[in-house]
Structure 1
């Protein structure tokens, strides 16, 4: 799982990579050095995802006239 860090293509891609890292680390079969590298990569992916979510939230605020409104789901779902 120790790959050079590169910018993911999308939020979904980053999330998938992060899930793969978590699954590999939870298996307990990873050597220490690989686990540390995977942890660093996972941290970068988390920061990338947080940035994408912050960008999306900012876009929603702009679309809602700087007022983030709760999501109204039909039938109270």
Structure 2
């Protein structure tokens, strides 16, 4: 049966929880109520992971626009 829904601390732990839920649901041995609870928890985890990915993407965009510039080295001594 799925664990109670809670916000995971990291993207990686959320992804691992989501994989566990998927495996349990794919086994076909889960009662309907447990499957519904797992589905709801899975949706929460997916939203959390999507949010973390969007945050990371935004940070990369900021770095590319404001921080990452071509290195201009002199051509020699």
Within 2, Cα distance between the matches of 1:22 and 1:41? 11
User: Which residue does 2:64 correspond to in 1?
Assistant: 64
Over 6 Å off, 4+ runs = none
The answer on 1:36 being equivalent to 2:8 is no
User: Which residue does 1:52 correspond to in 2?
Assistant: 52
Count of residues in correspondence between the two structures: 66
Q: What SS does structure 2 have at the residue aligned with 1:65?
A: helix
Relative contact order: is structure 1 or structure 2 higher (C-alpha 8 Å, sep ≥ 6)? Answer: 2
* Gap regions ≥5 residues in structure 1: 67-77
Within 1, Cα distance between the matches of 2:2 and 2:13? 17
TM-score normalised by the chain length of structure 1: 0.81
Which is higher, the Rg of structure 1 or of structure 2? 2
Q: What SS does structure 2 have at the residue aligned with 1:29?
A: coil
1:15-26 aligned at under 5 Å gives the runs: 15-26=15-26
Whether contact under 8 Å (2:11, 2:52) holds in the other structure is yes
Whether contact under 8 Å (2:2, 2:38) holds in the other structure is yes
